[in-house]
């Protein structure tokens, strides 16, 4: 027993020293010595032209180390141009390269999680509602009514899209108060005011009104937050999406993890391969949000092909939504495959229309403040998985929080922090923390994270998939790679 009393503190001290030494060793930029250590993704020796890539580093790699790696790359390949540095929900930099050797050299640095081509993300709609009617009943035909005992009160939904025209009547409640607020715009400098009609495409407005519009919304009681990451053409790059997701993460943590919080993303970019999607920066970012306890719902894509070649639809733990029509058949444009979790109404869906889409009318200054709240009252029918995604996002607001998941996720981080901070002169206290550290290690190995809890969606799959009237989505078990 006497020996055991000293073995446990000694073991704790060893753990502390190991973490400390690892921290010191990881503070410089290291490279593998042989080309065999390069990633299995290899580009052709010469690219067609100067292309832009995004390098993402592990979270524990310090900014100084990234800068050192960046300097080494530029010194070795002077023609390499560094476009952007970012330290958001993920950290790294974007760079241009004309040969594969540059890409593989950057990929060889220790701590690099992925190096992929910069992608363009597009709103998943086909310009061309029975959707609500379909949600509240199991069987066809539709009865022309939408009845629900839930309106989403107390739920926060972040619409990561092209912004929201909060002047539209769909976002004004019966007390003449706004139910939608634009909180982030990647093109607006910090501290600057964001317009009320901050949607130059109309896509985000249509999506937001399907989630929580006064008359077209699945859950009209939710609080809608517009996170603009797409430009006036309805497109954006990886770093724009990451910037918006970083805002959501920071907001969620600063508000003490309000639950439920939902992110709806009716956008997507194409991958070169499954491996390209697996290491995609946006896929990695949404996984981080899910581990915090945020529900993430995304559109499958409109290319009539494998959704696993779309980002962020590839992510194993998001809810990926395909589109169905009023006959309960998958829409002909909808992406499909094992990465699609559920189908929802996405064909000819009527929702709010921003002036930018319906009339192109905008005041000369572009400030959007001349219009009164509720002054915009136009509607439009659109098709796409972008329209299906917000139906599920609205239903997702029904779910409750998973406190156990939050507690489990904190074990690894709390244990590491305490062990690294408590002086070695208190070994007995460290021995008390050892079981907590062990549990944290097990939690990481088994990937026990606070993934969004099970969700009940009262909507039937198209008949050729299943006839179950209630689908329970469990993100932790929903699909595994074969």
Q: Which of 386, 397, 409, 431 is catalytic?
A: 386
Given this model, what pLDDT does residue 105 score? 93
* 328, pLDDT greater than 80: yes
Cα 355 to the center of its chain, rounded Å = 28
Segment 334-349, tens digit of pLDDT: 999 999 999 999 999 9
Instruction: Tell me the average pLDDT across 250-262.
Output: 92
Report the range out of 71-80, 146-155, 419-428 with the highest average pLDDT: 71-80
Given this model, what pLDDT does residue 29 score? 65
150 falls in which pLDDT band (50, 70, 90)? confident
Whether residue 161 lies in the annotated active site: yes
Annotate 195-219 with b (16+ C-beta within 10 A) or e (fewer).
Answer: bbbbbbbbbbbbbbbbbbbbebbbb
400 falls in which pLDDT band (50, 70, 90)? very low
Segment 437-473, tens digit of pLDDT: 555 555 554 444 444 443 333 333 332 222 222 333 3
Percent of the chain scored above 90 by pLDDT?
51
Q: Which residues contact 308 (CB under 8 A, 6 or more apart)?
A: 274, 277, 314, 337, 338, 339
Q: Exposed (0-12), middle (13-18) or buried (19+): which is 241, by Cβ within 10 Å? A: buried
Given this model, what pLDDT does residue 247 score? 97
**C-alpha to C-alpha distances, 298 to 88, 189, 343, nearest whole angstrom:** 21, 27, 12
Given this model, what pLDDT does residue 217 score? 92
Kindly provide the residue ranges of all beta strands, DSSP E only, lying in 186-234, ordered along the sequence.
223-228
Instruction: Tell me the average pLDDT across 369-376.
Output: 59
Hey, what domains does the chain have and what are their CATH numbers? 1-30+403-450 (no CATH), 35-118 (3.30.70.80), 122-396 (3.40.50.200)
* 222, pLDDT greater than 50: yes
* 325, pLDDT greater than 60: yes
Question: Which one is predicted more confidently, 12 or 132?
Answer: 132
* 35, pLDDT greater than 80: no
Segment 156-213, tens digit of pLDDT: 999 999 999 999 999 998 888 889 999 999 999 877 889 988 999 999 999 999 999 9
Given this model, what pLDDT does residue 375 score? 65
Summary mean pLDDT of the chain: 76
The model's pTM: 0.70
In the DSSP assignment, the letter for residue 37 is G
Instruction: Tell me the average pLDDT across 259-266.
Output: 93
* 394, pLDDT greater than 80: yes
Given this model, what pLDDT does residue 34 score? 37
Backbone phi and psi for residue 32, each to the nearest 5 degrees, phi listed first? -65, 150
Whether residue 255 lies in the annotated active site: no
Q: Which of 203, 206, 240, 295 is catalytic?
A: 203
Cβ–Cβ < 8 Å for 271, 314 = yes
Q: CA 187, CA 191: separation in Å to the nearest integer? A: 12
Given this model, what pLDDT does residue 98 score? 83
Q: Which of 114, 161, 259, 281 is catalytic?
A: 161
Whether residue 386 lies in the annotated active site: yes
377 falls in which pLDDT band (50, 70, 90)? confident
* 152, pLDDT greater than 70: yes
The CA-CA-CA angle for residues 311, 52, 248, to 5°, reads 45
Given this model, what pLDDT does residue 403 score? 37
* 46, pLDDT greater than 50: no
474 falls in which pLDDT band (50, 70, 90)? very low
Given this model, what pLDDT does residue 262 score? 96
Given this model, what pLDDT does residue 402 score? 38
């Amino acid at each position: 027993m006497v020996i055991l009393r000293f073995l446990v503190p000694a073991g704790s001290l060893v753990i502390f020293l190991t973490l400390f030494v690892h921290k010191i060793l990881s503070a410089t930029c290291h490279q593998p010595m042989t080309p065999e250590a390069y990633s299995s993704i290899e580009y052709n020796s010469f690219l067609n032209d100067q292309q832009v890539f995004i390098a993402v580093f592990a979270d524990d790699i310090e900014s100084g180390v990234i800068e050192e790696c960046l300097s080494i790359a530029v010194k070795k390949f002077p023609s390499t141009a560094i476009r952007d540095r970012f330290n958001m929900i993920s950290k790294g930099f974007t760079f241009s390269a004309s040969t594969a050797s540059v890409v593989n050299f950057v990929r060889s640095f220790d701590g690099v999680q992925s190096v992929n081509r910069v992608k363009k993300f597009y709103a998943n709609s086909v310009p061309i509602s029975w959707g609500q009617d379909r949600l509240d009943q199991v069987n066809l035909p539709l009865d022309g009514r939408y009845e629900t005992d839930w309106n989403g009160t107390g739920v926060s939904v972040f619409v990561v899209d092209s912004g929201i025209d909060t002047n539209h009547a769909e976002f004004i409640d019966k007390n003449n108060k706004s139910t939608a607020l634009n909180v982030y715009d990647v093109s607006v400098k910090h501290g600057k005011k964001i317009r009320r009609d901050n949607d130059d495409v109309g896509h985000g407005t249509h999506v937001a009104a399907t989630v929580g519009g006064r008359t077209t919304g699945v859950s009209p009681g939710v609080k809608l937050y517009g996170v603009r990451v797409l430009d006036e053409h309805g497109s954006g790059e990886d770093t724009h999406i990451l910037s918006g997701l970083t805002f959501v993460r920071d907001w969620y943590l600063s508000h003490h993890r309000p639950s439920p919080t939902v992110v709806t993303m009716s956008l997507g970019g194409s991958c070169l391969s499954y491996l390209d999607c697996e290491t995609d920066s946006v896929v990695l970012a949404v996984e981080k949000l899910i581990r915090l306890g945020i529900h993430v719902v995304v559109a499958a894509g409109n290319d009539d092909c494998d959704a696993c070649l779309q980002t962020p639809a590839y992510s194993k733990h998001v809810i990926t939504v395909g589109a169905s029509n009023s006959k309960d058949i998958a829409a002909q444009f909808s992406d499909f495959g094992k990465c699609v979790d559920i189908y929802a109404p996405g064909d000819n869906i009527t929702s709010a229309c921003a002036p930018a889409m319906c009339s192109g009318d905008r005041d000369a200054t572009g400030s959007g403040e001349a219009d009164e709240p509720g002054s915009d009252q136009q509607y439009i029918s659109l098709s796409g998985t972008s329209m299906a995604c917000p139906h599920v996002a609205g239903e997702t607001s029904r779910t409750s929080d998973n406190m156990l998941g939050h507690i489990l996720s904190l074990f690894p981080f709390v244990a590491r922090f305490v062990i690294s901070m408590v002086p070695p002169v208190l070994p007995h206290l460290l021995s008390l923390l050892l079981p907590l550290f062990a549990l944290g290690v097990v939690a990481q190995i088994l990937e026990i994270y606070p993934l969004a809890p099970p969700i009940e969606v009262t909507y039937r799959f198209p008949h050729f998939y299943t006839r179950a009237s209630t689908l329970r989505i469990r993100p932790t078990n929903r699909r595994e790679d074969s």
